[in-house]
Amino acid sequence: MTSRRSFLKTTSMLSAGLLVAPHLFARNKKYIGVQLYTVRDAMAKDPVATLAKVAQVGFNSVEGATYTGSEKFYGMEPAEYAKVLKDNGLIMPSSHYSLGEGMPNAKGTLSNDWQKAVDDAAAVGVKYMVLAYLADSERGTITHYKQVADKMNKAGEICKKAGIQLCYHNHDFEFIKQDGKLPYEALLNFTDPKLVKMEMDIYWMYKAKQDPIAMFNRYPGRFPLWHVKDMDNTPKQMFTEVGNGVIPFKEIFKHAGTAGMQYFFNEQDVCPGDPFDSITKSYAYIKQNLV
């Protein structure tokens, strides 16, 4: 039987470990994920074969990129899609969605038929639903960003009832000042931290000349999801395979605990050749150097 003294000693050791290296406790390290947008053309042609190929590379976690509009996961109903994932040893803890302000006829967005999107996500085992992007018409002044934040709070409340966390995925436009303020910070400050968290796209943070670590320190625990993609060392600052660019991922990963990171996904919006070649290179670097 564990004595009270030994229990307190163990607890103290764990607490000390958290203080010394909080990143070690930040997430379940067995998952290395990929955002399926990277292999979007293959997913459009044959999602079943593509998911099998993703698993063969070594990935055991994926993030969805397609649901809005069809209210299906790559043409499949939730039960069918969940089976395909399971058959390939994959989980999908996160998936992307749209705000829908500029798409009044699209369903499964934050603005239209959100409850069904949440129900379907829960059926697949999704833990995080992510607002992936704001179209030009969905941006604007800080006042409008506050309205977006209000919509996210309401959508996040629906997610919460299903045991799901709503997140927001950044690009670089959120760091162009509006009314003298940064839209990204407006979204952080106008949303309820319990209802809305962030998926940090580290490439786009660097593209916007922002410091991810400083953001983690300013808003600790708000970044449970990361997009891990690299930036090449050219004036164009293009996407490249992880480990092939200039972003210091080894240092950034040391701050996973402060960020509150739970899952990360390799993503490469544009690949120089076969996307599977790119994600294979990225997987190898991540496996050897980051986890």
Establish if 6 belongs to a structural domain: no
**Confidence at residue 24, expressed as pLDDT on a 0 to 100 scale:** 44
pLDDT at 3 over 90: no
Under DSSP, is residue 46 helix (H, G, I), strand (E, B) or coil? Answer: coil
User: In this structure, what DSSP letter does residue 100 have?
Assistant: -
Please report whether residue 219 resides in a domain.
Answer: yes
* Residue 4: pLDDT band with limits 50, 70, 90: very low
**For residues 255 and 261, what is the distance between their CA atoms, to the nearest angstrom?**
9
Separation of CA 196 from chain center:
13
The pLDDT value recorded for residue 28 is 60
Residue 42 maps to a domain: yes
Instruction: Provide the whole-model pTM.
Output: 0.90
Distance of CA 205 to the CA centre of its chain: 14
Question: Where residue 15 falls among pLDDT bands split at 50, 70, 90?
Answer: very low
In a domain, 174, yes or no: yes
Q: Is residue 221 in a domain? A: yes
- Averaged pLDDT of the chain: 92
Question: Exposed e or buried b for every residue in 186-198, given b needs 16+ CB within 10 A?
Answer: bbbebbeeebbbb
Instruction: State pLDDT tens for residues 161-218.
Output: 999 999 999 999 999 999 999 999 999 999 999 999 999 999 999 999 999 999 999 9
What digits encode the pLDDT tens for the residues 22-72? 444 456 668 999 999 999 999 999 999 999 999 999 999 999 999 977 899
Return the CATH number at 54: 3.20.20.150
* Host domain of residue 129: 25-289
User: Domain count of the chain?
Assistant: 1
**Which pLDDT score, from 0 to 100, does residue 270 have?**
98
Is 187 domain-assigned?
Answer: yes
Kindly state whether residue 9 falls inside one of the protein's structural domains.
no
